[in-house]
Amino acid sequence: MAENIMNLDTVALDEEKHALVILDQTLLPNEIKLLSLTDQKDIWEAIYLLRVRGAPAIGVAAAIGVYLAARDIEEDSYDGFYSRFLEAKEYLASARPTAVNLFWALDRMERVVVEHRHLPVADIKQRLHDEAVAIKNEDIEVCRAIGEHGLSLIQDGDGILTHCNAGQLATVKYGTALAPIHLGRERGYQFKVFTDETRPLLQGARLSAFELSENGVDTTVICDNMASQVMKNGWVQAVFVGCDRVAANGDACNKIGTSGVAILAKHYGIPFYVCAPTSTIDMEIKTGEDIPIEERPAHEVTEMWYKKPMAPKGVKVYNPAFDVADHNLITAIITEHGIVHPPYRENLRALFDAGKQAQHV
C-alpha cells in the first residue's frame, strides 16, 4: 500500500466537492479507501456502521455533516431554515447513542445558528462552515496536547497496553490514548505496545496495530483474555485507553472490555490512564450508571469475521458496545488542559470552573 495511514486525516471537508471525506475503517487493514459523502443518509450510515468511529472523529464528522445539510437547505426565512436544520441535527444524532462528542458537536453547531439568528441565512451557513472547520482543527490541537501530557507519565522503553483504538484513526490526527506513543515516536522513543484484539469488532487488531505498525512502533497483538498474563509477566508499565464519555464522578465509558482491563491493572499495580478530551466529559451525567450503553447486532459476534457462523443458529447473543470503568480504578484522566487526579468530582468541576485553563489537578 503506497499511502501511509499517518499521512491521512481520518475526517476532512472537501471544499470543492462539498463533501465529508472519511477513511473507511471497516476495510482496514487490508484496504485504504477514502469515501466522499454528500448525502445525509450516507453520512448517517457511515457513523452507524463505524466507517468513521472514535468519539472525536464522530464529532468532527457530525459537525461537517450537519453543515453540509444546512448548506442544502433552501429556505430564506430564519424560522424555516432553523426548523430544517433541527431535523438534520436530530437525524445525525440518532446514529449512535453513547459517544457524547456526537451530541457535543451538533449542539455546538446549533448554537451558531441560534446566536446568529439576526444574520441572513446565507451568512449563517458560512458561520456553520467556519465552525465545522474550527472543530476539526481544534481536534488536532487537543490530541497533540493530550499526547504531551501523557508522554510526561511514561519513559523511553516502557511497555504500554491499550484497548480498542483511540489513535489517529479515532480522531483527525494523533489520537488520544495513542497520542503519547505517536509523539514519543517522533522524538525517538522506543515503546513496546500491546494492543488488545478487542472483540467483537477487532479494533485493536485491525486498527491500533495497523497505525502503530505504520508508524514504526514495536507492536504486539494479544487476544483480550491474554492481558492478565502479559501484565503478570511484567511487560506492561502503563495502560492508556480512550473514552466515549466521562461522568462527573470520573467513571469512564469506553469500548467493551475496558473495565476488565482496569480491574486487572489495579490488581497488578499498573497505572491506568484515561485519555479524555474535555468534549467527552459530560458534567450533566452524575455517574457511569447514567450513561446509555449501545447494544449492537448479534451478527457482529457470531458471523462477522467468519466464512460460516461460529455459534449455533438462533442462540441468544448479548453484544454491548461499551462498558464503564469505575473511577476508583482510574489513576488519572488526561485532558488537553492537564492531568486530573482523584477526587474526580471536585477536580473535574475545578477544570471546567477555571475556564479550562491549563492546569495539573
Catalytic positions, please? Answer: 244
In DSSP terms, 255 is beta-bridged to 322
Given CA atoms 136, 2, 197, 180 in this order, what sign does their dihedral have?
Answer: negative
Is residue 170 classed as helix, strand or coil in its secondary structure?
helix
DSSP state letter for 207: I
Phi, psi of 169 (to 5 degrees): -70, -15
The Cα–Cα gap between 193 and 136 comes to: 28
Q: Smallest Cα–Cα separation from 168: which of 8, 337, 336, 339?
A: 8
CA distances from 295 to 52, 96, 97, 250 (A): 18, 10, 10, 23
Determine the distance from the C-alpha atom of residue 159 to the mean position of all C-alpha atoms in its chain, rounded to a whole number: 23
For the chain, how big is the Rg over CA atoms in Å?
20
Which helix (H) or strand (E) segment is 335 a member of? strand 332-335
**Closest by CA position to 244, among listed 296, 274, 280:** 280
Which residues are within 8 A (CB) of 292 and not within 5 positions of it... i.e. 6 or more apart?
97, 98
Q: Report the candidate in 59, 113, 106, 61 with the shortest Cα–Cα distance to residue 83.
A: 113
DSSP 36-78: EE-SHHHHHHHHHTTSS-SHHHHHHHHHHHHHHHHHT----SH
